[in-house]
Amino acid sequence: MSQQHVHDSPGPRAWLGLVVILGPVLMVSMDGSILFLAMPRISQDLTPTADQALWILDVYGFAVGSLLIAFGNLGDRYGRLKLLMIGATAFGIGSAGAAFAPGPELLIAARALMGVAGATLLPSALAVLSELFADPRRRAQAIGVFAAAFAAGFAIGPVVGGILLERFWWGSVFLINLPVVALFLLLAPILLREVRATRPGRIDALSVVTSAAGLLLTIYGLKHAAAEGLSSAAILAGIAGLVLLAWFARRQRYLQHPLMEFSLFRDRVFTLAIITGLLPLAAWSATAYLAGVYLQSVLELSVLHAALFAIPGAVVLTITCVVTPFVVDRIGKRTALIICHFSIAAGLLLLLPTAVTGGTAWYVASTVIAGVGYGICFSVVADTAVGAVPPARAGSAGAIAETSNELGNALGIALLGSLAALIFRLQGPDLAATLDETLQLPDLSSAMAAEAKNAFVTGLHVAAAAASGLHLVLGVLALRWLPKSVTPQAGHDARVEDPPGRTVGMRR
């Protein structure tokens, strides 16, 4: 294996390298959420359909999630730094294209390009990080910082978007990526060295195509059914997508060098940790998007005021993510995962008292309580993924963890967002497909506007209750599945505690 030289005690170069890596991490994660508060403004200027509005939001997460595994493997084989440089350049190009998109179609295309570029950045960044820090404890701390930056990006995205939108046009939320890209391209070749693992075999192109196509068709079928009702096209697309995903999973079992190593999921602890990477992001992205519309379109707050209400939850989430690696050393990952799911479930339930006449205090309380769980989610999943596999598989293992995050981000809006859209369509005045479109109709009566707002709030409640129920189920599974006798181990190698005689994710 050809890799950069590292010492057990990381020097200044390693920590400076970590700082450089955090730039793309913040950029990619922030772009997964920065549009939540910007969507009302984009809807006014570009007038997208309900289906296009959802695609503008989650095509980015879909593109990232569907390609992370492939690019994790490519980085392992052909060079992680090289892939980081290419991805950062493409991300900058996509950001500029999105900022000046004249219509929803081109904005969707630019967001898709940004997602493809983002898929090159995350797994390679996490793999380079693992190579910089050879000492297990130092690596766990560095991964905690990495996870905190990733979490902070998601959390502060709406806040940064709100501040920019108060002074500039909506395209500014994309242009802020360009200075980050420029600094990374300047400093990365100086502070980071090329890292690659000697990996036999080629990337299975058919697996890449079938996984991406399966996700695309499945999400399209769900979104189309929610926005416009059941149709033969939606049903056929959904079924075709599920068949392709099942075939993809089956194909991986027989490939000598699979795109995704499903053998890692044989361990219940690892499996639950990866699910913990997916479901909380699904709940967070959907409720953050719906809450952004609620604060601006229902309560009629300015975009800056709506952003300010998101700050307490963002602070709690980020702090929790930073301290989690240290707390886990004392309480163990079993307890951390249980706290994660139950705190998110409780936080989501606090959205239920929100109403058309008010509810900002409930919203803030919800983000603070759930923020504890979201912070644990980011730290535990990233720590587990990298520490559970040999260094040669760091890129692809990190890709599984980040895939769960990004797919959760996309699927949350696609599934829970579509559920809220379905409730709005069934209970609303049936004048337009979305609340913002309804409120912009000329000569809209106050009674119809109130009916539309009530229908939207009901959809928010249903989506929050559904996500809360899923987290309650996972919390119970964590209580039943995870070994009760595990104890934290000093100096652990960032692995999940497991029963004696087994090591999570290590190939036998």
pTM: 0.70
The answer to whether position 445 is within a domain reads: yes
Q: What is the pLDDT of residues 20-35, one digit of tens each?
A: 888 887 887 777 667 7
DSSP 302: -
- For the chain, the domain total comes to 2
If asked whether residues 300 and 252 sit together in one domain, one would say no
If asked whether residues 245 and 334 sit together in one domain, one would say no
If asked whether residues 96 and 125 sit together in one domain, one would say yes
Residue 77: the pLDDT is 66
CATH number of the domain within which 186 lies: 1.20.1250.20
If asked whether residues 62 and 43 sit together in one domain, one would say yes
Please determine, for residue 399, whether its predicted confidence score (pLDDT) is greater than 90.
Answer: no
If asked whether residues 26 and 45 sit together in one domain, one would say yes
The answer to whether position 489 is within a domain reads: no
If asked whether residues 365 and 386 sit together in one domain, one would say yes
245: domain range? Answer: 204-258
The confidence band for 284, taking pLDDT boundaries of 50, 70 and 90, is confident
Please determine, for residue 445, whether its predicted confidence score (pLDDT) is greater than 80.
Answer: yes
The answer to whether position 351 is within a domain reads: yes
The answer to whether 161 and 35 have CB atoms below 8 angstroms apart is yes
DSSP 255: -
If you average pLDDT over every residue of the chain, what do you get?
Answer: 78
Q: What is the pLDDT of residues 86-98, one digit of tens each?
A: 888 999 999 999 9
The answer to whether position 496 is within a domain reads: no
If asked whether residues 209 and 355 sit together in one domain, one would say no
If asked whether residues 276 and 321 sit together in one domain, one would say yes
Residue 353: the pLDDT is 95
Q: What is the pLDDT of residues 69-90, one digit of tens each?
A: 677 667 666 677 788 888 889 9
What value does the mean pLDDT take over residues 146-152? 73
What is the C-alpha radius of gyration for the chain, rounded to an integer number of angstroms? 22
Please determine, for residue 160, whether its predicted confidence score (pLDDT) is greater than 90.
Answer: no
The answer to whether 409 and 282 have CB atoms below 8 angstroms apart is yes
Torsion of CA 164, 99, 286, 245, to 10 degrees: -160
Q: What is the pLDDT of residues 358-391, one digit of tens each?
A: 899 999 999 999 999 988 887 777 666 565 555 6
Residue 489: the pLDDT is 39
DSSP-based three-state secondary structure for 441: coil
What value does the mean pLDDT take over residues 274-281? 83
The answer to whether position 112 is within a domain reads: yes
If asked whether residues 222 and 314 sit together in one domain, one would say no
If asked whether residues 267 and 314 sit together in one domain, one would say yes
Contact residues for 159 (Cβ-Cβ < 8 A; gap 6+): 307, 308, 310, 311, 314
The confidence band for 495, taking pLDDT boundaries of 50, 70 and 90, is very low
If asked whether residues 183 and 220 sit together in one domain, one would say no
Which is higher by pLDDT, 269 or 449? 449
Largest CA distance in the chain: 71
The confidence band for 457, taking pLDDT boundaries of 50, 70 and 90, is very high
What value does the mean pLDDT take over residues 221-239? 78
The answer to whether position 508 is within a domain reads: no
If asked whether residues 247 and 375 sit together in one domain, one would say no
Q: What is the pLDDT of residues 245-268, one digit of tens each?
A: 899 888 888 887 777 777 767 767
What value does the mean pLDDT take over residues 442-453? 88
Residue 502: the pLDDT is 33
Percentage with pLDDT > 90 across the chain: 16
**Residue 232, class by beta-carbon neighbours within 10 Å (0-12 exposed, 13-18 middle, 19+ buried)?**
exposed
What value does the mean pLDDT take over residues 402-410? 69
The answer to whether position 7 is within a domain reads: no
The answer to whether position 151 is within a domain reads: yes
